[in-house]
DNA sequence: GCCCGTCTTTACGCGCTCTTTATGCGCACA
DNA sequence: TGTGCGCATAAAGAGCGCGTAAAGACGGGC
C-alpha cells in the first residue's frame, strides 16, 4: 500500500512497527541511525518516515531538518520526550506529527493513515488524454482538439466509467451495473448504442475506433496515450 | 494570516483560543454548536477548523463527518476524551490532528502551523472573472462590464457557491444543500428559477449561456476565463 | 397599515435524451 | 455456402428535464 521508513535504534521497536505496519499492508524499510535514514531518504524517498528522536549518532531534530532539505516526505516523530519544547521544535522543523511514547498502536496507525492520505503517493492524473481527446475526471469536462464536447448524462457516465479504468478492460456487466444500475446488467443493447454515440463524437474515424476499443465477447476498453 | 474557526461551547476556551490565535496573526471566527459550525463552514470555508468534540447539540464525531461532506478544510480536534478509540475515529473520519486536553498552547500553535502550512497555501483567487463579469468572493461584489450588478440574497448565495467551485460541476443536490439547506435538496424548481434569473442579469445572451452552463442531468457549472 | 422587493410556487411548452426496435455487417462454424 | 451470433448503426416515439413567465406568499421598512 505504501512504503514506510522506520528509524529507531531499538530493534524491539523496529520489529513491533514492522509487524504492525506490515499487517496493514505497508512495505517497511528500516534504519538504525540518523545518517542511515538521511541517506536512505535521499537515495529512494519513501511515502512516510517514522522517526524516533532518540538516536545514537545525531540529534533527532537534526535528522528532521536533514531530511527536509532533500525531500518533502511526511515525517511522523516518535519520542519518549514529552516536553512541549521538543514537540514544537520538531513540528516547526517540518515534521508532520509528533506522538509521545508510550503510544497506542491503534492511534499510531490512524495517524499514519492521516499522513498518507494527504500525500497521495500515487498522484493519479485527474485528466486522461488519448489522441486528441482530453478527459478531465475531476471537472467532468471532455475536450477534443481543444474544443469542448457536449455529452449527455448517460454518455458522460459511460465515458467516465471507462476513463476511470483507463487501459483496463471492463466487462459489459461491469459497465452496465456502474452506469445503468444492477437491474440492467443484461441490456447490452444500451451499451452498443451509447458506445457508438461516444465514438461518433470523439473518434477521428468512428468506423476505426482508436479510443474506445471493443474486446469481442468481453467488453470495452478505453485506450490512452500512456497506456 | 489565516482564517480559523473555533468551535467550542465553553466561552472561556473560545476566549483563550481567540487571544492566542489572534496574537499569532490569525483571524478567528467562533461557533458554539455543531450545527452552527457546519453552517459557517458551508457558507464560507475557513482555512482551519479547531473543533471541540464535546458539544451540546450533536456528537463531535458527527460534526467532523458533516464538515467533510462539504469541505476539505483541515480540522484540528480538541477533546478531554483521551481514549484511543475517540482519536482513531476522529482521525479516520477526516480530522487532520487530535490534541487531548489539557493541551499546551505552544504545542497547539505548532500543530496549527503544521496544519496551515500543508493546506493549499495557494491563495485562492478572491476574484473570479468570466467574460465581462467579475465576481469578488471576498467583498461579495459582482460587476458586469465595470458596473455593479444588484443581486438578491438568494441570487448571491447561488452565484458564490458556483464561483467558489469555478469550472467544476456542482450537482443539483450539492447546490441546493449549500444554498437552501438539506431540507430542500429535492426542490430543483428553485434552481431553474434562480439560474435563469442570474443568466438574465449576467449573461450577454441569456438564451445562449456562456457563464452558467447546464450539465444535463447533473447540475451546473460556472465557466471562467482561465478554465 | 401599506408598499415594494424578494422568495416561493405553479403552469406550460419546447427540445433533448433515453429507450426501444429494426436492419445490416462480419466472422465463426458446420 | 448457409446459419447464427455478436456488434455497429440508424431511426423513431415517449418521457421528462429544463427554461421561462407569472401569480401568490412573505417580510421588512416607512
B155 touches strand C (CB under 7 A): yes
Q: What is the pLDDT of residues A147-162, one digit of tens each?
A: 989 999 999 999 999 9
User: What span, in angstroms and rounded, lies between the C-alpha atoms of B100 and A141?
Assistant: 44
For the segment B22-45, the average pLDDT, to the nearest whole number, is 90
Domain span at residue A40?
3-117
The candidate with the shortest Cα–Cα distance to A20, out of A137, A110, A87, A138, is A110
Q: Does residue A89 share a domain with residue A144?
A: no
Question: Residue A121: which pLDDT band, with cuts at 50, 70 and 90?
Answer: very low
Q: Does residue B144 share a domain with residue B71?
A: no
The x, y and z cell numbers of residue A206, run together, are 468512428
Q: What is the pLDDT of residues A196-211, one digit of tens each?
A: 999 999 999 888 999 9
Residue B208 lies in a domain: yes
What local confidence, expressed as pLDDT, does residue A122 receive? 46
Whole-model pTM? Answer: 0.74
Q: What is the pLDDT of residues B123-177, one digit of tens each?
A: 666 789 988 899 998 888 999 998 999 999 999 999 999 998 888 999 999 999 9
User: What span, in angstroms and rounded, lies between the C-alpha atoms of B209 and B214?
Assistant: 8
State residue A157 phi and psi, 5-degree precision: -55, -50
From A82, A117, A152, give the residue that closes a domain. Answer: A117
Residue B94 lies in a domain: yes
Q: Are B95 and B73 in contact (CB under 8 A)?
A: no
What is the CATH number for A97? 3.40.50.2300
CA of A217 to C1' of D8 (A): 14
Number of domains in chain B: 2
Q: Are A21 and A2 in contact (CB under 8 A)?
A: no
What local confidence, expressed as pLDDT, does residue A130 receive? 87
State residue B53 phi and psi, 5-degree precision: -70, -25
Helix B105-118 and helix B11-23, axial crossing angle in degrees, nearest 10:
60
Which residues does nucleic strand D approach, with CB less than 7 A? A 172, 188-189, 192-193, 195-196, 199-200, 206-207, 209, 214, 216-218; B 172, 188-189, 192-193, 195-196, 199-200, 206-207, 209, 214, 216-218
From A97, A117, A137, give the residue that closes a domain. Answer: A117
| Average pLDDT of the residues of chain A | 92
Q: What is the pLDDT of residues A162-202, one digit of tens each?
A: 999 999 999 999 999 999 999 999 899 999 999 999 999 99
Rg (alpha carbons) of chain A, rounded to whole number: 25
Amino acid at each position: 500500500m505504501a512504503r514506510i521508513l522506520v528509524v529507531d535504534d531499538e530493534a524491539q521497536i523496529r520489529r513491533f512497527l514492522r509487524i504492525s505496519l506490515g499487517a496493514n499492508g505497508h512495505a517497511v524499510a528500516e534504519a538504525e541511525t540518523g545518517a542511515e535514514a538521511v541517506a536512505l531518504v535521499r537515495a529512494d524517498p519513501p511515502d512516510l518516515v517514522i522517526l524516533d528522536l532518540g538516536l545514537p549518532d545525531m540529534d533527532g531534530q537534526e535528522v528532521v531538518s536533514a531530511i527536509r532539505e532533500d525531500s518533502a516526505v511526511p515525517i511522523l516523530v516518535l519520542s519518549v520526550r514529552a516536553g512541549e519544547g521538543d514537540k514544537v521544535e520538531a513540528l516547526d522543523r517540518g515534521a508532520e506529527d509528533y506522538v509521545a511514547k508510550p503510544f497506542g498502536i491503534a492511534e499510531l496507525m490512524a495517524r499514519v493513515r492521516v499522513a498518507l492520505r494527504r500525500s497521495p503517493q500515487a498522484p493519479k492524473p485527474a485528466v486522461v488524454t488519448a489522441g486528441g481527446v482530453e478527459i478531465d475526471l475531476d471537472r467532468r469536462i471532455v475536450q477534443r482538439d481543444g474544443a469542448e464536447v457536449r455529452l449527455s448524462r448517460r454518455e458522460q457516465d459511460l465515458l467516465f466509467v471507462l476513463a476511470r479504468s483507463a487501459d483496463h478492460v471492463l466487462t459489459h456487466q461491469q459497465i452496465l451495473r456502474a452506469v445503468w444500475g444492477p437491474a440492467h446488467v443484461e441490456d447490452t443493447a444500451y451499451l452498443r448504442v451509447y458506445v457508438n454515440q461516444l465514438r461518433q463524437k470523439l473518434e477521428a474515424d468512428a468506423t476505426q475506433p482508436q479510443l474506445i476499443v471493443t474486446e469481442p465477447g468481453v467488453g470495452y476498453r478505453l485506450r490512452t496515450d500512456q497506456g
